[in-house]
């Protein structure tokens, strides 16, 4: 059998990274890790412990002090998906809400938060055989990943997709709210001092604006086979 590899998928928010990463993991039997869910879980912890001020900014010192008390896990579900656990509690639905999306970028810009999560993520890749998606997976977490993908698509396309997902889950949001959140997060994620979203030099680009999920799956599987057989 071929040695298992690491697949790193980076890109802007709502670019479809998680869908493609999850589907590749299911097909290959690899472990899937949504690194954004880990930042979202920390943001939820901050919200629930009064560590977000009236301007939506995290109280960094308090949050850094609390980091040793934040435990994040993923629990596989019968349908093949997995749920994010925060200190033993299933927070999968909660971390996808707009109130978390609105504060997660400044939380993820705190250097010590990144340091703690990056070290957990590196440990998850010890045995390889993993597909991880995020912003800094190919650049910081797994700079030696055998396959790195950088996904992009326009903010409008991403806002439409995200809106559809949120409405399907019963959220009362408007296209304008979702687009504003995406544009704002793009800005914070790509301009922050600590590990900004950046394409790894050896990443393969994918613009999926006009691709179906099936086309995207096929393209990714081809990239996977190429990397595995290198």
First-to-last C-alpha distance (Å) of the chain: 14
- Residue with tokens 């938060």, as numbered in its chain: 113
Exactly one of 28, 35, 84, 208 binds ligand DC (CB under 6 A); that residue is 35
* Least distance to ligand DC, CB of residue 35, Å: 4
Exactly one of 33, 136, 148, 159 binds ligand DC (CB under 6 A); that residue is 136
3-state helix, strand, coil in the chain (%, to 5): 50, 15, 35
How many Cβ atoms sit within 10 Å of the Cβ of residue 123?
Answer: 9
Stretch that binds ligand DC, among 34-42, 78-86, 172-180, 198-206 (CB under 6 A): 34-42
- Residue with tokens 């990443």, as numbered in its chain: 203
Q: Is 33 in the site for ligand DC (CB under 6 A)?
A: no
* Least distance to ligand DC, CB of residue 13, Å: 4
How many Cβ atoms sit within 10 Å of the Cβ of residue 201?
Answer: 8
Q: Is 13 in the site for ligand DC (CB under 6 A)?
A: yes
Q: Is 158 in the site for ligand DC (CB under 6 A)?
A: no
Exactly one of 158, 185, 203, 216 binds ligand DC (CB under 6 A); that residue is 185
How many Cβ atoms sit within 10 Å of the Cβ of residue 124?
Answer: 16
* Site residues, ligand DC (CB under 6 A): 13, 35-36, 39-40, 104-105, 108, 134-137, 185, 189
């Amino acid at each position: 059998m071929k040695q298992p590899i690491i697949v790193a998928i980076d890109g802007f928010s709502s670019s479809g990274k998680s869908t493609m990463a999850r589907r590749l993991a299911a097909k290959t039997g690899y472990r899937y890790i949504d690194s954004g869910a880990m930042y979202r879980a920390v943001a939820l912890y901050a919200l629930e412990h009064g560590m977000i001020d009236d301007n939506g900014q995290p109280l960094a010192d308090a949050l850094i002090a609390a980091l040793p008390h934040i435990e994040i896990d993923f629990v596989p579900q019968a349908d093949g998906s997995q749920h994010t656990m925060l200190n033993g509690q299933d927070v999968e639905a909660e971390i996808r809400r707009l109130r978390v999306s609105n504060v997660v970028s400044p939380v993820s810009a705190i250097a010590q938060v990144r340091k703690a999560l990056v070290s957990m993520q590196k440990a998850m890749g010890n045995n390889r055989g993993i597909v991880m998606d995020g912003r800094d997976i190919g650049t910081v977490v797994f700079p030696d990943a055998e396959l790195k993908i950088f996904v992009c698509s326009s903010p409008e396309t991403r806002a439409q997709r995200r809106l559809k997902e949120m409405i399907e889950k019963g959220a009362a949001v408007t296209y304008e709210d979702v687009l504003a959140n995406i544009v704002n997060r793009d800005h914070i994620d790509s301009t922050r001092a600590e590990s900004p979203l950046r394409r790894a030099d050896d990443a393969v680009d994918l613009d999926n604006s006009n691709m179906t999920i099936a086309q995207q799956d096929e393209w990714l599987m081809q990239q996977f086979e190429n990397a595995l057989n290198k």
